[in-house]
Amino acid sequence: MRPKVEVKNVTKVFGKSPKNAIKLLEEGYSKKEILEKTGSTIGVNGASFEIYPGEIFVVMGLSGSGKSTLIRMLNRLIDPTKGEILIDDTDIVKMSAQQLRDVRRNKISMVFQNFALFPHKTVLENTEHGLVLRNVPANERREKAMQSLAIVGLKGYENQYPSQLSGGMQQRVGLARALASDTDILLMDEAFSALDPLIRKDMQDELLELQETMKKTIIFITHDLDEALRIGDRIALMKDGSVIQIGSPEEIMMNPADKYVERFVEDVDLSKVLQASHVLKRAERMTPDRGPRVALQIMKAQGYSSIFIVDRKQKLLGALTADDASIAVKENKSVEEVMEKNLVTVLEDTLLTDVIEALSNSAFPVAVVDQENRLKGVIIRGAVIGALAGNKDDLNMKEVD
Amino acid sequence: MGLPQIPLADWVDTAVKWIVTNFQGFFSGISAVTDGFIDSLVKVLELGPPLVLIVLITLLALYTSRWSVGLFTLIGLLLIENLGLWDATVNTLALVLSSVIITILIGIPIGIWASQSDKVRQVVTPILDFMQTMPGFVYLIPAILFFGIGVVPGIIASVIFAVPPTIRLTNLGIREVPEDLIEASNAFGSTTSQRLFTLQLPLAAPTILAGVNQSIMLALSMVVIASLVGAPGLGAEVYRAVTQVQVGEGFVAGLAIVIIAIILDRISQNLRKPAYSNLIPKRFAYSIVAILVIGALIAVSVGGGQAEKASPSKVGEQVDYEIIGIDPGAGLMKSTEKAMNDYGLKGDWTLVEGSSAAMTAELQKAYDRKEPIIITGWTPHWMFTKYKLKYLEDPKGSFGKGESIHTIVKKGLDEENPGAYKILDQFYWEPKDMEEVMGDIQEGMKPEEAAEKWVKSHPDEVKKWTEGTQKGNGEKVSLVYVSWESEIASTNVIAAALKNEGYDVTLKQVEAGPMFTGVANGSADALVAAWLPTTHQDYINEYKDQIVDLGPNLKGTKLGLTVPEYMPIDSIEDLKK
């Protein structure tokens, strides 16, 4: 698959003598030394990455890491000092103003941190703004604008002014404005940072939901790792203008490229990031027709106090403790008659916070099942606590079968 | 210390002269267009009876700024009408409106340009600072040279004075549009003009309108000053009242200006958000105003096209039927009005009010290009030494015989300061003496230096003045004078003579009215600049009990209509042909 956007060694220097600064950069001076020598600030330093169609590519970093500058170079609101930016295999850095306008109108739209809605225009006028610039006929652009307002759930607000809406609604208008242009690429510059945490979560969920149908290429900037982990297909981490690690949320979590990323990751509430699948252990299991004596034998041999009972298709039926198995042997009952059927189960992608809750309500280790109720493994208390304490031995590095 | 004086004034003079000679066509063009425009504007405003306009302005004020302002407008305008100042008010309105229209046409584009380019802003800002702090009077001087006298230099000076706020606030308003909105507009691919018209101008509109409102107020404050170069209207009324110390008239004209100012301020402030826009939509209301204005303009241009004066007089056509006068309060102007009546010139000819400086500037311009011009002249005046001029014959004697210049002192000066009193009493000289001093001043010498020079070189004459007097001992003597060249010369000479006798002399330059009032109420000791029996007779009549007339200090003055010698007419009667 060809990448939709390719960023090749892009550098941005702010200040009076960018050429000098570039030279010093190539000679290997640090950002700080260059600032002292030339008074120029390195905004972005040699960023290179590819973004594929339909993925949500998150760029994250602390403030001042250059992420906002980077995203603004993708539609050339800021001109790179050096490097190439290919969109659909065409370098936009070399484009004339007119060509660039065409790209901005037809290929790439943007959502801003502070919404950047035009206060003197109604919601509808704001939404159709991009189409007005394109000189789309009035009724056609009305229709498109109304559609995108419907998508973001703002039907009926089209004649309000932005000042009459809440923050979340305003950002929906911002999103609708970007969607109305119907571009393949959507730049989102800290789009949810100005919203309060609850609305923020809702907006993230909505974005993910929308993405299911839209399948746009979204470049999402955030300084919030939780947000990045929630919505990013891939994450690029920036520090001091450089991209220091690119990978899936898991990779970033598990193998931080350096101390900086590790520190970054440390601040994250792991229980909200790690999922059941990260801490599950192999589960001892058997089909019920083997009988209670076999169950006891297995438990004795393995040193377990319980065993999970599954059918031939690995679907979870219940769990059997050593005590239950002894009773069944004495009273000559079948496994089904004595086993515990009401088990607490969680899905593989359940977050650890929810797993902890399940553990506290369950006498057994929590069973991890898939959508079809097939047993995938179990979670024991110790592993959860270890993982939350940052102990890597308690994390699974590979998918559990 | 050792540095010679930089001849900055000469440089400016040379530059202005060069501009005047090389860009005459350009200036005439501007003059003609502006003149035509303001003429039609005045005609539009005078189209119906005053009541029609009063009602229309009232309705506009009412619609934009609540009923109370509407009521004030109605009462205020009716009061102006009642006080007989309606014509002056219409002229002032036309002056202000055309200044503001030109201000908007020039200011907003420059403001936009400055907002789009930092370079332009860096160039424009210091120029604006300069323009705003330079006293308004100063603009009148080049304005006269470029555009002659009348309403056009008044408009131009008003525009120069009033345009900075519009430029500044346009620039500011556009630059204040939040950066993220500009970014958003760019991000969706707007062109510069799309961004300007869909985003920057709408958001900057309140700030721009605040600038326009400021400009209107400044233009209004310029109307009085503009009257110095012959702009008609309420300003001229005020100016006339000042020169004649007519408290009542000055107050009435000032009040009219205040009323107009308040009305214009309220209307312009509330144009964007009219008080009653919920009842009548803005577009609808302003469309009606626009239709009325355009309709009236069309009516004026269709109906007024044939209003050309059908007088066959060649001279009249050449000078636009204008006689260039001096300050409206001067006796010479009264005489000229009388002469125009006597010779039947009243209907066709207009006497342009201005000031003596404006008149001589106009003369200089016409003379340099050998164009016809008719002025109200008087001798002694340096213009007769500098140019070849002639008086038009006055067979009907409208201008009377020649005048004398009298010395007037305050009551009781003879006891208070007998030495100075006696010197003033004995002060007498000849027109040629005076013209000598005037010539020196005109050449660029400082008045006090020229006077000192004359006093040194004419010891015998000065001796006559000081005969039989004690040397002074630092007694204070304060003299007042009007800023006519003749009086600057005479007052400085007598001051030099008094100083040489040991008196401490102060000079104050004022208008004619204040000059007499000052001597009458004792705030000044004396004046040597009373032209009698015509020019200043009114003041003598008014203050005769509070002043002492010491008789003439110069005889042989002459008043009359004056033309350059190259003009082929000899008598005032020729103007009637």
DSSP string, B126-151: HHHHHHHHS-HHHHHHHHHHHH-SSH
The last residue of a domain, from among A268, A296, A321 = A268
Q: Do B187 and A134 touch (CB under 8 A)?
A: no
Answer whether residue A59 is part of any domain: yes
The answer on pLDDT for A317 being more than 90 is: no
Give me the phi and psi of A217, to 5 degrees please: -90, 115
**B547 Cα distance to chain centroid:** 31
Answer whether residue A51 is part of any domain: yes
Of B531, B131, B17, B46, the C-alpha closest to B303 is: B46
- Which phi-psi region, left, alpha or beta, contains residue A135 (left: φ > 0; alpha: ψ -120 to 50)? left
pLDDT at A269 (0 to 100): 66
A213 and A334 assigned to the same domain: no
Which chain B residue's Cα is nearest to A119? Answer: B203
Partner-chain residue, chosen from B189, B198, B202, that has the shortest CB–CB distance to A101: B189
The answer on pLDDT for B186 being more than 90 is: yes
A252-274 tens-digit pLDDT? 887 887 777 777 777 666 676 67
pLDDT at A363 (0 to 100): 74
The answer on pLDDT for A297 being more than 80 is: yes
Q: What value does the mean pLDDT take over residues A213-222?
A: 92
Q: Do A116 and B203 touch (CB under 8 A)?
A: no
B187 close contact with A: CB closer than 8 A: yes
Maximum Cα–Cα distance across chain A: 90
The SS3 of residue B86 is helix
Show the domain range for A286.
276-394
Q: What is the residue-wise DSSP string for B210-268? A: HHHHHHHHHHHHHHHHHGGGT--SHHHHHHHHHHTT-HHHHHHHHHHHHHHHHHHHHHH
A110 contacts in chain B (CB < 8 Å) = 184, 187-188
B117-138 tens-digit pLDDT? 999 999 999 999 998 888 878 8
CB–CB of A74/A189 below 8 Å? Answer: no
Q: Do B188 and A129 touch (CB under 8 A)?
A: yes
Q: What value does the mean pLDDT take over residues B328-338?
A: 81
Going from the C-alpha of A24 to that of each of A27, B259, B457, the distances in angstroms are 5, 69, 80
**A118 falls in which pLDDT band (50, 70, 90)?**
very high
A116 contacts in chain B (CB < 8 Å) = 178, 180-181, 183-184
Least confident of A293-297, B362-366, B425-429, B533-537: B533-537
CATH code where residue A43 lies: 3.40.50.300
pLDDT at B313 (0 to 100): 54
Angle between helices B86-116 and B234-243 (to 10 degrees): 110
Question: Tokens 């006339």 identify what position?
Answer: B240
Answer whether residue A97 is part of any domain: yes
B194 contacts in chain A (CB < 8 Å) = 133
pLDDT at B513 (0 to 100): 80
CB–CB of B392/B572 below 8 Å? Answer: yes
Q: Return the residue in A99, A112, A118 with the most chain B beta carbons within 10 A, the one to mutate for interface testing.
A: A118
CB–CB of B159/B99 below 8 Å? Answer: yes
Which chain A residue's Cα is nearest to B183? Answer: A77
Task: Report CA dihedral (B258, B262, B264, B270) to the nearest 10 degrees.
Answer: 170
pLDDT at A395 (0 to 100): 63
Answer whether residue A112 is part of any domain: no
How far apart are the CA of A42 and the nearest CA of chain B, in angstroms? 21
A295 and A264 assigned to the same domain: no
Spell out where B355-400 has E strands: 375-379, 389-391
pLDDT at A385 (0 to 100): 78
Least confident of A264-268, A350-354, B284-288: A264-268
B36 close contact with A: CB closer than 8 A: no
CATH code where residue A311 lies: 3.10.580.10
Higher pLDDT, B311 or A58: A58
**A398 falls in which pLDDT band (50, 70, 90)?**
very low
pLDDT at B528 (0 to 100): 92
A260 and A219 assigned to the same domain: yes
B192 close contact with A: CB closer than 8 A: no
A41-66 tens-digit pLDDT? 899 999 999 999 999 999 998 888 99
pLDDT at B515 (0 to 100): 87
Of A129, A203, A141, A130, the C-alpha closest to A171 is: A203
- Rounded-to-integer distance, Cα B171 and Cα B190, Å: 20
Partner-chain residue, chosen from A75, A101, A112, that has the shortest CB–CB distance to B180: A112
pLDDT at A390 (0 to 100): 63
Least confident of A109-113, B69-73, B189-193, B358-362: B358-362
Q: Do B183 and A112 touch (CB under 8 A)?
A: yes
Answer whether residue A177 is part of any domain: no
Q: What value does the mean pLDDT take over residues B348-371?
A: 84
- Tell me what percent of the residues of chain A surpass a pLDDT of 70: 95
Going from the C-alpha of B348 to that of each of A361, B313, B321, the distances in angstroms are 111, 10, 6
Question: Tokens 């007499």 identify what position?
Answer: B516
Of B50, B69, B83, the C-alpha closest to B263 is: B69
**A391 falls in which pLDDT band (50, 70, 90)?**
low
Mean pLDDT of chain A: 86
A373 and A248 assigned to the same domain: no
B176 close contact with A: CB closer than 8 A: no
The answer on pLDDT for A399 being more than 60 is: no
Q: In total, how many domains does chain A have? A: 2
The SS3 of residue A158 is coil
b (16+ CB within 10 A) / e for B301-313: eeeeeeeeeebeb
pLDDT at B443 (0 to 100): 80
Which chain A residue's Cα is nearest to B194? Answer: A133
Residues in CB range of B52: below 8 A, 6 or more apart: none
A242 and A356 assigned to the same domain: no
A88 and A221 assigned to the same domain: yes
Of A293, A276, A308, A298, the C-alpha closest to A374 is: A308
Answer whether residue A159 is part of any domain: no
Going from the C-alpha of B294 to that of each of B31, B41, B94, B219, B403, the distances in angstroms are 23, 11, 15, 23, 52
Residues of A with CB under 8 A from a CB of B: 72, 75, 77, 100-106, 109-110, 112-114, 116-120, 129-130, 132-134, 177, 181, 187
Q: What is the value of pTM for the model shown?
A: 0.71
Q: What value does the mean pLDDT take over residues B248-259?
A: 92
Residue B196 gets which letter from DSSP?
Answer: I
Answer whether residue A328 is part of any domain: yes
Do the bridges between strand B504-510 and strand A345-347 make them parallel or antiparallel, or are there none, so unpaired? Answer: unpaired
B544-555 tens-digit pLDDT? 888 999 989 988
What is the distance in angstroms between the CA of the first residue and the CA of the last residue of chain B?
62
Residue B467 gets which letter from DSSP?
Answer: T
A281 and A254 assigned to the same domain: no
A188 and A65 assigned to the same domain: yes
Higher pLDDT, B304 or B533: B533
- Rounded-to-integer distance, Cα A30 and Cα A41, Å: 11
Residues in CB range of B3: below 8 A, 6 or more apart: none
A315 and A234 assigned to the same domain: no
pLDDT at B303 (0 to 100): 57
Residues in CB range of B447: below 8 A, 6 or more apart: B441, B488, B489, B492
Residues 424-463 of B with CB under 8 A from A: none
Q: What value does the mean pLDDT take over residues B512-520?
A: 85
A223 and A319 assigned to the same domain: no
Q: What value does the mean pLDDT take over residues A178-201?
A: 90
A314 and A206 assigned to the same domain: no
The last residue of a domain, from among A268, A290, A313 = A268
The last residue of a domain, from among A239, A268, A297 = A268
pLDDT at A268 (0 to 100): 67
Partner-chain residue, chosen from B181, B190, B194, that has the shortest CB–CB distance to A116: B181
B181 contacts in chain A (CB < 8 Å) = 116, 118
A72 contacts in chain B (CB < 8 Å) = 183
Answer whether residue A188 is part of any domain: yes
What single letter denotes the amino acid at residue A38? T
CB–CB of A158/A128 below 8 Å? Answer: no
Higher pLDDT, B574 or A81: A81
A248 and A296 assigned to the same domain: no
- Rounded-to-integer distance, Cα A165 and Cα B464, Å: 93
Q: Do B189 and A118 touch (CB under 8 A)?
A: no
Spell out where A248-335 has E strands: 285-286, 306-310, 316-321
